[in-house]
Copies of this chain bind each other. A is one copy, B any other.
Amino acid sequence: MDSAQIDGVRRFNRTVTERVGVLHDRYLGRDRPIGQARLLWEIGDSGQDVRRLRERLGLDSGYVSRLLRSLESDGLVTVEPGRRDRRIRAVTLTEAGRTELATLDRRSDELAGSLLVPLNDGQRARLVSAMAEVDRLLTAATVTLDDIDPESTDARDCLRSYFTEMEAVLPTGFDPERSLLPDAGELRPPRGLFLVARSHGEAVGCAGLKLPRDAPAEIKRMWVSPQARGLGLGRRLLTELELRAAGQGRTLLRLDTHHTLEAAVSLYRACGFREVPAFNDEGYADHWFEKRITATG
């Protein structure tokens, strides 16, 4: 990363915060404090729990409560005790609230339009595609990798998606019962680990690493959510697992896969994995790979 790049990013930040950032808040909130507007957005047409709102916006509970009261006195929302748990109150938009939200939505469109209006067709197309590129890469840059328990909610969500996808992609379908799946213990320290990739707090990918005492380290259940593909996330997970295995003193990393998972297979090759004969009898695999790594632990 050189200083010309840093300068470029800084220039971008300046332009964008001036042009988009400032307008964004001021313009959209126009006749309503930003806090209230943000809350309206977050409540959305389908309503939301107070608790959830607080978490999503990262605000103090007292503050949210106060904001809700002012929205309520403007007749935009109703707050009622929740059905399941009457402590957790549920917020819904009234008709007026829905109208207000639609207005915010329209303004957001106008704001977007105002950036495009002064440009000609060619410039517009270039701007939109450059924005998409920035968006993708910034999103990629915000993805964090965290160690989590393979039985936590996020892990279960990822694995469910993983299984569903295997089911759809593998020619024979996929039945977890008939696969050599590690049990949770094998993907939990000290016998292994499980990484989740999160974007804005939402799980968008995962990968497990088995670290058996008497066998090489093995990658399991690597998955990237369809909407997060093309961000280099697969490679990042792979690199991270490699580092972790090396950190545990391992010198060999293995994995099994299926040829219909083309993107995965070429990723493995691109990352330096070499194809080897079957080292297990996983019924759903037809290709096996390994890579020598340098122990650092």
Contacts and interface: CB of A to CB of B under 8 A. Distances in A.
Contacts of A126: 133, 137
Residues of A in contact with B, size category? 35 or more
A7 B109 CA distance: 8
Given A1-B117, A109-B10, A133-B126, A21 B18 contact: no
A15 B138 contact: yes
Nearest to A125: B5
A13 B109 CA distance: 11
Contact of A13 (B18, B111, B124, B232): B111
Contacts of A7: 112
A120 interface: yes
A6 interface: yes
B123 A6 contact: no
Interface string A3-34: 00111111111011111110011000000000
Interface of A: 1, 5-13, 15-21, 24-25, 108-109, 111-113, 115-120, 123-128, 130-135, 137-143, 200, 232, 235-236
